Structure 1
């Protein structure tokens, strides 16, 4: 019964050493994938809120901008209130309304990057003085579709109503 159960090899412990070197590299790789995902998620929610607010502004009186601001804030609640996703206050600007030539929405906020990524972003000058990465979204659209403005009756509702009565 010679040599059973115990093997001696010069490779003993090699996997442990390799894992010790590989684990930080894998964790850094995961970290480098998570930060862009966070930034893209924030941007997606912000752009959606801005464009939907523009659609809302097209139907609101210009003096009723508070309703659109409340709508935007409700939509932005989809972003977790964690510094990695959102740090500080929302900066929201709405402009225009039903009779305006254009409606515009601008949303800006900052997020605190993950530790190692934040150091790299700071080194590259992508963060502000407080260490936050600033994201800005702007949406703009005309309250009236191009086909309507260029039509024979334009945007005058009474002209369209009279045309309907002529056809009836």
Structure 2
């Protein structure tokens, strides 16, 4: 870190983190300068990498890697157009979580926010829950030689086709 000083201003440079690398302080008429032995500046932790560990029709389990820098906890959320779940976890807790009570075949965004208590950094991943099984499956007609005709209702949640 570099410090340059004159009677009119002080420039502090060489700080790590986001934003500018220097700030200029200019005394005003009513400003009193005090000597500071130590100045601690906390930068935001690095973003974590978020992993999809598993998914079902009604749940999603995510995990995340370690952030560099000081991390005191994580804020987890899962959102879509109709719902939002959020919780706070300490950095000492398991680095995975299972969100439950989700809708089948729906799109969600999972956010893992690293926090040092003062600053935060966000990482996210998009995921779709598994669509539900087709409903009301009925045997319509059976040809004893080689064919079966079946009908069914739509599956719960979004789906693109049936095989």
Query: TM-score band, normalised by the shorter chain?
Result: 0.3 to 0.5
Compare the two structures and name the one with the higher strand fraction.
Answer: 2
Compare the two structures and name the one with the higher helix fraction.
Answer: 1
Q: TM-score, normalised by structure 1?
A: 0.35
